[in-house]
Structure formats: C-alpha cells, structure tokens
Amino acid sequence: MLQFPTDILIAGQWRRGAGDPLDTVDPATGHLLATLHAASAEDVAEAAEAAAKAVADPAWRDLLAHERSRLLHRIADLIEEAADELSALQTADTGKTLAETRALALSAAGTFRYMGAALETAEDALTPSRGPYVTMSVHEPIGVVGAINPWNSPVASDAQKIAPALAAGNAVLLKPAAWTPLVSLALGRLITRALDEFRLPTALLSVLPGSGRVVGEAIVRHPLVARIGFTGGTETGRSIAGAAAHKLVPASLELGGKSPTIVRADADVEQALAGVMFGIFSSSGQSCIAGSRLFVAREIYDSFVGELVARVAALRVGPGTDPATQVGPLVHHRHRDSVAAYVDLARSEGARVLCGGSAPEGERYTDGAYYLPTVLDGLANTSKTCQEEIFGPVLVALPYDDEDDLVRQANDSVYGLACGIWTQDLRAAWRLARRIEAGTVWINTYKQFSAATPFSGWKDSGLGTEKGRDAIRAYQRQKSLYWGTSSHPLPWAG
C-alpha cells in the first residue's frame, strides 16, 4: 500500500514542521491523501544555518569531484529503483497519468546521472598571462542555495535544481509547492539515504513545504541563502528577482509561457495533428511550455482545425491511475475553476468553442478537478485569452497568411519560452526557428528534453539557464588565481 509522507525534512532531520497544517488532496477524487505540517520561517532559518555548516564540513567541502559524481550516480540508482513508488505518489498528488509520472521519475534519475558525468569532465582553466606569473580560473561552491518549484512536474523540476547544486558542492533548501509536496519529500528521503551511505551531512538538503508567503519568502530573504532557483509564475519571479537584486545574489527564473505552435501548409498532417495535441493536452495543459496558441496556414486552416477538433473530442478523460486515460484531472479544484473562468472570458471576447468548454459530466467526474480538452477560435491574437497564460487544456487556433504575418503574431507576446514548427521544408524551418523569439524551438516534435541541452526563457519567460554542462557552473563562483614566478614580483621590488 502506498505510504504518504507526513514529516518534512528540516536540517537533515525528519520531523513535523512548525507551520500550519497542510492537506494534500487527490484531484481525481477530491479525497484527502495526507495532512502534514508546513515549515515555518523558524524552520527555514534552522535549515539554512545547518546547511551552511554542512557546506563547510570537510567531509563535503573536501570531497573530490569524482566522489561527488559517485554520490549523484547513487541517487540516480535509488530513484530508478523507486520509480514506481515515485510515479504513484506524483499521480496521487497531481492527477497526471502513471505513464507520465513514471517518465518524470526516470527523467529525474537521468538528470542526476548526467550531472554526475558532467562533473567528472568539468575543467578549470589555465589562462594566458602577459607577465611573470601563471594565471588560473577556478570554480568554487556558492554555499546555501534556495530552490523553489511549482506543482506541475515536481520530481523532474526538483532534480533540475538539486543535481547541479550538489554537483557544484552546495547545500539546498527545497520548497515544493504546497499542493504537491509528497513526491518531493519522497525524493528527499532517497537523497538523504545516499548521503548517509557516503557518510556525508544530511543537512545538505532540506525539503520545506509551505506557502510562498511564509516559506518561499523566508528562503529568498535569508542572509545565508546565496543563490535562488525559481520555477513558477512571472509575477512571483519578478518579486524574487527584486529580493535577489537587493541581496546582490544570483537568481535563475523559469517563468510562464504562451507558446506558439505553427503548422505550415506543407506539414505532414498526421504528424502535426498528433504533435499539436500532445503539445497542449498532455499534462492537461499544465505546463509552462504548452503549445497553447496554434497558428495554421490559412489555406489548410479549415480542414486541419476540423480534423483536430474531431480528435480532441475523442480524447479519453479520466483519473491518472486508469491506463486508458489520456487527459487527467487538473491539479486542484481551485485551479480548475481558474481555467473555466478563462474559457468564460474567451466567450465574452467572441470566441467560438469548437469542443470542450466545460467540466465533463458523469458520476466518474463528480468529485474530481476535471476539465474537458478545449479548442477555441474566432479570437484575435491581441485578445486576453491569447495573451495570458491559462495553464490548462485550452488551445486557441488562429490562421496566418504569410511568413511575416506569422512571425509578427507569434512574437506578439510578453512571453518567449518555446515554439513548435511543423513543416517538411527545411529551409523554412530554419528561417522560422531563427526568427521566433523563444528559448527552445522544436521542429516536427514537441516537449522533448535532454539534460544535456540548455533550457531558458526569453522576455517575461525567465532569466538564466537550466540543464546542460553549464548548469553546474551556474551554482558556483568563479575565482582567478595569480601565481608569481619572478624573484622580483613587483615593479618597485629591489
């Protein structure tokens, strides 16, 4: 039987948080899964102080790179061994399908494994000098870092911050979202197990669920937290950026999106239909990279959208534990109501609801946070529906006339996170990929990731980069060393 965590990880110790009770609810049924106590500001302070001591502990501070790499590989092994449990916890907490949550658990393992490999091959530099000295550039840990993650893909998001931070020699204070803390706590238990096996201080990781106003604020503003990694909403990101600027500490911010997905007239229609649907309706649209604005060449618009609507209407909606489910519930009833309010807004703006547009009917759906996959059209790209992030299974279809019209509309957004292009014309794909203002562009695919490939957002979609070899360096400070070789190292020396 699946065991739900009730204690939280504070300064390497599992115990009850000093904050308010925190209920976690199964969004498929509305049933209570577990009640735990959130962290308090005092818990955060204790965790930060213990983390600073752990970073300075010679057992961790002097650990050689290949030994830290062994630790990361061990964590990856433990995640893979526990993949079914992690998948079941995340499905219970988020409503995602078991197939998706298992893939996310394995992705987390892959991230730890990649960062371990990258760490073993990371090099400092002997730099050119123009004097009687040898110059070197080396990298050292930042110290205590804060990692604040959203509720939509917790275990994968956690790994993207914890793995490079540990690889770089730091300690981590992780704040998972209040709605979905369970899988992050389970991941914390695996990481502390690995730290114990290597006889390293377990205070290198704390997992501190709670509200952004209490726990997030305490992490961001604590004087010992020397770097912040945040994934979430743009307005919260702005606030964190301001706090980081005040402290003069670095921050990486992976924020919102309203990503365009483009179907040219020469696209492979079957491939494009499948890709567009996956891009917006997987994860029930609860993804910052969701392809929520669909631009279709006008000459194929009616036929393509007509076939798309027929297929979307046939998608199977249900609980994530049902192997037949393609679209699960939204994460929380309050979020479902927010998505429904956006569809009502779209109607008021003149949208046509081509399919969906409501919660599904039937006893199976009565108590869950379900919303039907929805396709809208009849809106201008300037409408609020097309400009604001909905974060749900809602797709807006828009026609375009030529490439310049397409690029103008696609780039007419405060966001610049991702884009999908469906075409068989390689030259056109290259031109569009370079003209679109986005950190990631997929061509004839969508929502595919590699731990080795950097991920970043443009404009209001973020600041800084995650993944790739440089992710480790982002959690380190650079230091220059000058080694004098002359017996008269200074100009006025005798």
**Residue 383 near residue 362, CB atoms below 8 Å:** no
Going by the DSSP 8-state scheme, the letter that residue 216 receives in this structure is: I
Dihedrals φ, ψ of 71, to 5°? Answer: -60, -45
Of the candidates 324, 446, 340, the one whose C-alpha atom is nearest the C-alpha of residue 394 is 340
Helices (H), 122-222: 154-167, 182-197, 217-221
**Rounded Cα distance, 76 and 65, in Å:** 17
Active-site residue identified among 46, 100, 254, 466: 254
**Residue 212 near residue 233, CB atoms below 8 Å:** no
**Rounded Cα distance, 267 and 262, in Å:** 9
**Residue 320 near residue 28, CB atoms below 8 Å:** yes
Active-site residue identified among 46, 217, 288, 355: 288
Both tokens of 463, joined, read 């600041």
Give the chain's length.
494
**Rounded Cα distance, 419 and 407, in Å:** 11
**Residue 40 near residue 211, CB atoms below 8 Å:** no
Both tokens of 167, joined, read 């690889």
The answer to whether residue 307 is catalytic is no
**Rounded Cα distance, 130 and 70, in Å:** 39
Position 445, amino acid? T
35 CB burial (10 A radius; 0-12, 13-18, 19+): exposed
Task: Give the strands of the sheet with 260-263, arranged side by side.
Answer: 352-355, 374-377, 394-400, 293-297, 260-263, 418-422, 440-443
Both tokens of 303, joined, read 């036929």
**Rounded Cα distance, 246 and 240, in Å:** 10
The CA distances from residue 395 to 201, 277, 441, in Å, are: 47, 9, 19
The answer to whether residue 288 is catalytic is yes
Of the candidates 70, 422, 403, the one whose C-alpha atom is nearest the C-alpha of residue 269 is 422
Residue with tokens 């997929």: 442
* Alpha carbon of residue 263 to chain centroid: 26
Both tokens of 367, joined, read 């108590």
User: Which sequence positions are flagged as catalytic?
Assistant: 254, 288
